[in-house]
Structure 1
Amino acid sequence: MRLRLLVLPCALLAATSLSAQEWAATCHASSSYDVTLKPASILFDRPSPAPFHVEMQQGALRTDGNAVHLNAEQQDRLTVFERELRALAPRVRTVAQHGLDLAVQALQDETRTMSLGADTRAELDRRLAAHAATFRQRIAASNSTHDWQADVVDQYANQIAADVLPLLANDLGQQALDAAMRGDLQTASRLRDQATGLASGLRPRLEQRMQALQPQIAALCPAITRLADLQQGLHGSKGHPLNLLYVGQ
């Protein structure tokens, strides 16, 4: 089963993400659906199994294009589900924005331990600020988990890595060459090791720093559990339980 949260996870900077796996680990929540918050309705969709499309709108329910008859209690339950899901979305965006800020700060702190030149550091800060601004806009504008599929997240991360890591590696490599020409082979070796280990060394340290986001994620778990409870008893047009969200131990 693909792990999905029924709201808006986002990619974080430098290959660090607020991923569905983290939501599953923290809140024990998963879903096989993607979700899109439309102005007048909420759409859940997945490639299989049926129902493939579940759309709810002010207490009305359609699955795979067919209207579902609901009694008054079910309509009330569905209306509350819609309202509480929409209320949860901006809270998730806030956590995502905090995660982005944390990722940028963590990357800046990590690179401050390197002997980078002043020009390189200034250019690094400029590029990080540009990427962060782009991500903030994407987070604010996103209304669908389709915007944060794993391949999309990987593409964003690779773009950032391709932009930032060569800048650092070139600076450290040039310094290593200069040190070697001065006869300081120990410094040259240390700088070369830093340059060659950038990609493999930075990511685990950044991921460790991102653990500071866990309390904010955990604070959303009761709302997610509440959504799972509200969906109970709701079925599609062919009688299948909706099971939009699973919450387990």
Structure 2
Amino acid sequence: MRPRHLIACLLLSTAQPLLHAQDLAATCHASSSYDLTVKPDSLVFDRPQPAPFQVQLAAGSLRTDGHPVQLDAESQDRLALFERALRALVPRVRAVADAGVDLAARAMHDEAADMHLAPATMDELNRRLAAQAAELRRRIAQSNSTHDWQGDLAQQYANRIAGELVPLVAADLGQQALAAAMSGDLDAAARLRDEATDLATQMQPRLQRRMQALRPQVQALCPSIRRLADLQQGVRDADGRPLDLVQVGG
């Protein structure tokens, strides 16, 4: 089974649906074979295979596949600390995700501004960016499970943003190309037409570079991720298997 990157799970994959930013998961070298759902009274880790398929933590107690696991005092303390540490991490992760939304919107705005688009185009682009950012922040605030971001949802979101913004910018560039051609500047017209045609592929690397500014905020989460991996050490399920909820390497 392909492991899920834990940072990507905790960040609710926000960098990916926005701009295909760098693989933030690799920043802390953390992964998990589980999905995570944060409930008011418990943490639920689940996966399709292998067993255990579901691990539930609640105030130092442990259940695997619906069955309670007898724990010694040290294991209970470790799991209680694990749950507390992970819950404390969630709002920090959301803050980083929100920062990613803002950074992406600013990056898109700056890229468009560098193209000297018409004021009306910039106004419409900023309106759409603000609406998309507000929607994504709302989804981040409401989501408590990595299941909310499974499958190709991230790609669908990226495609939807591109579908709204790229044609708007390309149309403006096309108008600039037409104006240049009518004024006799055929070189400028050709350049603008090429820029409009290749807009999505040309802009993506520049946006990715701008998103690198988010990396220090993600790196600041790494010690807490490593703390989670340390706290699970020594805890075993009813069949004697290590409670391997988090893997940290590198």
Structure 2 counterpart of 1:102? 103
CA offsets 1:47-82 (integer angstroms, 9 cap, x no match): 111111111111111111111111111111111100
Aligned CA distance change for structure 1 residues 14 and 59 (closer, same or farther; 3 Å): closer
1:117 matched residue in structure 2 = 118
Unaligned runs of 5+ in 1: none
> Would the aligned equivalents of 1:77 and 1:231 in 2 still touch at CA under 8 Å?
yes
User: Which position in structure 2 is the counterpart of 1:134?
Assistant: 135
1:223 Cα shift?
A: 0.6
- The one-letter amino acid of 2:218's match is I
Letter in 2 for 1:11: T
Aligned to 1:83: 84
- CA–CA distance in structure 1, aligned partners of residues 29 and 122 of structure 2: 40
Question: What's the counterpart of residue 235 of structure 1?
Answer: 236
In 2: Cα distance, 1:144 partner to 1:248 partner: 24
Are the counterparts in 1 of residues 17 and 154 from structure 2 also a CA contact under 8 Å?
A: no
My pick for the range that moved more, 128-137 or 110-119, is 110-119
Alignment partner, residue 93 of structure 1: 94
* Pairwise CA distance, 1:147: 1.7
Q: Which residue of 16, 19, 25 corresponds with 1:16?
A: 19
Is 1:41 aligned to 2:45, yes or no? no
Equivalent residue number for residue 10 of structure 2: 7
Q: Deviations over 1:23-51 (max 9, x none)?
A: 2x211111111101001110001111111
Does the CA-based 8 Å contact 1:179-1:188 persist in structure 2?
A: yes
Change in Cα spacing, 1:222 to 1:10, as seen in structure 2 (3 Å) is same
Shift, 1:115, TM fit: 2.9
Rounded Cα–Cα distance in structure 1 between residues aligned with 2:17 and 2:194:
20
1:144 corresponds to which residue? 145
C-alpha change, 1:8 and 1:144, in structure 2 (3 Å) is farther
Q: State percent identity of aligned pairs.
A: 58
- Stretches of 4+ moved more than 3 A in 1? 12-15
Letter aligned with residue 97 of structure 2: A
**1:182: Cα distance to partner?**
3.1
TM-score, scaled relative to structure 2:
0.93
Cα distance 1:8–1:214, how it changes in 2: closer, same or farther (>3 A)? closer
Give the residue type in structure 1 aligned to 2:19.
Answer: T
- Give the letter for the 2:12 counterpart: P
Native 8 Å contact 2:11 2:96 kept in 1? no
Distance 1:32 1:18, change over 3 A: farther
**Equivalent residues of 2:21, 2:212 under 8 A apart:** no
The residue identity in structure 2 corresponding to 1:138 is R
| 1:212 Cα deviation after fit | 1.0
CA shift at 1:12, angstroms?
3.8
| Contact preservation (8 Å) 2:173, 2:192 | yes
| Distance in 1 separating the partners of 2:119 and 2:85 | 49
Counterpart CA distance in 2 for 1:14 and 1:36 is 20
Deviation at 1:209, TM superposition (A): 0.9
Residues 14 and 128 of structure 1, relative CA distance in 2, 3 Å threshold? farther
1:82 is matched by which residue type in structure 2? Answer: E
2:176 aligned residue: 175
Contact 2:18 2:104 in 1 (8 A): no
CA shift in 2, pair 1:64/1:236, >3 Å: same
Equivalent pairs counted in the alignment come to 247
Matched-pair contact (CA < 8 Å) for 2:180–2:186: yes
Moved more, 92-101 or 234-243: 234-243
Residues 150, 99 of structure 1: alpha-carbon distance in 2 compared, 3 angstrom cutoff: farther
